[in-house]
Amino acid sequence: MCINGYGTNKDTLAVHLLASMKRLFIAFGLSIATAIPLGLLSGCFPLFSSAVSPIVEFYRPIPPLVYYTLLVLWLGITENSKITLLYLAGFAPIYVVCCASVRKVNPDHIRASKMLGATDMQTFFNVVLPATLPDIFTGVCTAIGVEYTTLVA
């Protein structure tokens, strides 16, 4: 039994586990930091959505391990390709949920805030964002599951 690790470099399981968790959390943080703002913008502005959504909808149904080969060719077998794979796996669920949740905000609430004199920014932060948060959290939970499944695979 080998207690000092395995493979040629004799790293322990904890070292490999920490490296994998580091990749997962970096990719998850990047997914949240980019997908939520882009999804909210796409939900609010149809012109912006027409520029971003086709790209996301193109790669979303493809299993992440399928495009890993392309990532290795483009980025090499480094941390960058592994983090990018996890990032792409988690980006799509968050983005899609954010777009959909903005579109289902009750228009009467938006009109009421406008009628009461709220600016577009105030309407967004006081009406749209609070109404979308439950769906955003659902998308974030789904994304971490998809990223973890991709990491294990």
**All domains in the chain, ordered by first residue:** 22-152 (1.10.3720.10)
Percent pLDDT > 90 in the chain is 70
pLDDT digits (tens, 9 = 90+) for 122-143: 999 999 999 999 999 999 999 9
**In this predicted model, what pLDDT tens digit does every residue of 65-102 receive, in sequence order?**
888 888 888 888 888 999 999 999 999 999 999 999 99
Min mean pLDDT across 34-48, 51-65, 94-108 is at 51-65
Model pTM score? 0.86
Distance CA 84, CA 68 (A): 9
**Dihedral angle computed from the Cα positions of residues 23, 24, 26 and 29, in that order, rounded to the nearest 10 degrees:** 170
The token pair that represents 86 in the structure block? 């996890």
Higher-confidence residue: 46 or 7? 46
Rounded Cα distance between 7 and 12, Å, is 9
